[in-house]
């Protein structure tokens, strides 16, 4: 698609968002997301080779200090991050999870106080999940190190009567992070069973399934292929794993086109694929591809969650596929270029989209 057409999409998207803001359309929408929240420690190192050599040297010296990193603690969890972003954008958002008392205090600080998310569905009796992400080089390529013992399982039977009351009111229900939830297949498949036939949009992002390769066939059969799943959302690595293809060498649409089409032919859900270079949408009849922005990222961890929140907004507002993908790309770009990791309000996002200095990549 030519640059002029993308510019027209940006103008159209900004105009529709202004109308939605003026008419308070997002405030009338309800989203329920579940279930992961974690405390993340982001560790940035400038050069991978330097990092490896230095840590090997420290190891050989029986321990010592690695002095060349920048570290920060932030909220984490795919569902929690997306919920925060949606709350900041003005959507009535409910978050369902389980944690401990410290986790609840952090959820109240990050989600409720900063984004207005309803956390009444957060239960005690769990533990605070922890994750450390190494973000390496100028592109902030991340290696996420999870404390698997802290990510407690959460299944369909952990939902209570109050949760179902909220779910019944929702326009969209999203399930996230199957990889770290040992009851993830149970949660997704039985929730989709429960919602089958109801006028509620279902949204699924499994995260990287690689650590549980042996369980992917069951996940695919019971959840990913479920007829009640409305939207499946993947990055390029997850796409290749579910399509049983080798990892791609270069991220571009030509490289991924056939793999994306092949996976879509096997599932009834509408398929979204988001990468650092472009986002794509397939529904079996139509395809849309929109490039990402040419920006220098300050972080990468959480970018997919920001993308999901923008995509959900596009679904709720019934935007055209190209507008929705640009919306998702815009929320992600805003987040990864914010000096503080801020999620945008709708007003700030509109200004971002209208900024003529921001350019889109070639795909």
Catalogue the long-range contacts made by 249-256 (C-beta closer than 8 Å, 24 or more residues apart). 251/275, 251/276, 251/277, 251/278, 252/277, 252/278, 252/363, 253/278, 253/280, 253/289, 253/363, 256/280
Instruction: Specify the pLDDT at position 188.
Output: 98
Query: What is the per-residue pLDDT across 157-168, written as a single tens digit (0 to 9) for each?
Result: 999 999 999 999
pLDDT tens, 264-278? 999 999 999 999 999
Provide the 10 A C-beta neighbour count for residue 208: 16
Q: With bands split at pLDDT 50, 70 and 90, how would you rate the model's confidence at 204? A: very high
Domain coordinates in residue numbering, the chain: 3-354
DSSP code for 353: H
Q: How far apart are the C-alpha atoms of 158 and 274, rounded to whole Å?
A: 31
Each residue's pLDDT tens digit, 37-84: 999 888 888 888 888 888 898 899 888 888 777 888 888 999 999 999
* Per-residue pLDDT at 152: 80
What are the tens digits of pLDDT across the range 337-353? 998 888 999 999 999 99
Which of these, 250, 266, 248, 260, lies nearest to 286 by C-alpha position?
260
CATH, domain 3-354, list 3.30.420.40, 3.40.1190.20, 3.40.50.620, 3.40.50.150: 3.40.1190.20
| CA 350/CA 210 separation, integer angstroms | 36
Alpha-carbon distance values, 196 to 193, 252, 270 (Å): 5, 35, 16
| Nearest 10 degrees: Cα torsion 292, 330, 73, 239 | -50
User: How many angstroms from the chain centroid is the CA of residue 254?
Assistant: 24
Can you state the angle between helices 303-316 and 78-89, rounded to 10 degrees? Answer: 50
110-130 per-position pLDDT tens digit: 999 999 999 999 999 998 988
Is cis: bond before 35, omega within 30 of 0? yes
Global confidence as pTM: 0.91
pLDDT band at residue 149 under the 50/70/90 scheme: low
pLDDT for the residue 232: 98
Residue pair 40/75 in contact by the 8 Å Cβ criterion:
yes
């Amino acid at each position: 698609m030519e640059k002029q057409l993308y510019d027209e999409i940006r103008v159209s998207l900004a105009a529709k968002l202004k109308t939605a803001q003026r008419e308070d359309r997002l405030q009338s929408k309800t989203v329920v997301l579940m279930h992961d929240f974690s405390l993340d420690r982001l560790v940035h190192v400038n050069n991978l080779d330097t990092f490896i050599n230095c840590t090997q040297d420290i190891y050989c010296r029986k321990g010592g200090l690695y002095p060349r990193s920048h570290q920060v603690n932030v909220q984490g969890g795919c569902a929690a991050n997306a919920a925060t972003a949606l709350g900041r954008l003005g959507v009535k958002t409910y978050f369902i999870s389980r944690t401990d008392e410290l986790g609840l205090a952090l959820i109240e600080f990050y989600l409720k106080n900063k984004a207005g998310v309803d956390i009444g569905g957060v239960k005690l009796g769990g533990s605070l999940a922890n994750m450390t992400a190494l973000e390496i080089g100028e592109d902030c390529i991340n290696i996420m190190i999870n404390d698997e013992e802290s990510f407690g399982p959460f299944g369909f039977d952990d939902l209570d009567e109050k949760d179902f009351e909220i779910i019944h009111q929702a326009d969209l229900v999203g399930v996230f992070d199957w990889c770290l939830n040992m009851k993830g297949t149970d949660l997704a498949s039985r929730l989709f069973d429960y919602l089958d036939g109801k006028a509620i949009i279902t949204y699924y992002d499994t995260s990287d399934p690689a650590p549980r390769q042996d369980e992917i066939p069951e996940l695919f059969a019971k959840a990913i292929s479920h007829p009640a799943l409305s939207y499946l959302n993947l990055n390029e690595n997850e796409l290749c794993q579910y399509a049983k293809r080798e990892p791609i060498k270069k991220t571009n649409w030509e490289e991924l086109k056939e793999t994306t089409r092949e996976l879509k032919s096997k599932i009834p859900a509408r398929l979204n694929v988001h990468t650092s270079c472009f986002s794509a949408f397939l529904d079996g009849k139509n395809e849309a591809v929109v490039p990402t922005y040419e920006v220098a990222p300050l972080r990468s961890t959480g970018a997919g969650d920001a993308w999901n929140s923008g995509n959900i907004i596009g679904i709720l507002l019934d935007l055209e596929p190209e507008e929705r993908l640009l919306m998702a790309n815009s929320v992600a770009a805003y987040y990864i270029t914010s000096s503080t990791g801020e999620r945008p309000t709708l007003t700030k996002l509109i200004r971002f989209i209208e900024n003529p200095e921001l350019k889109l990549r070639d795909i």
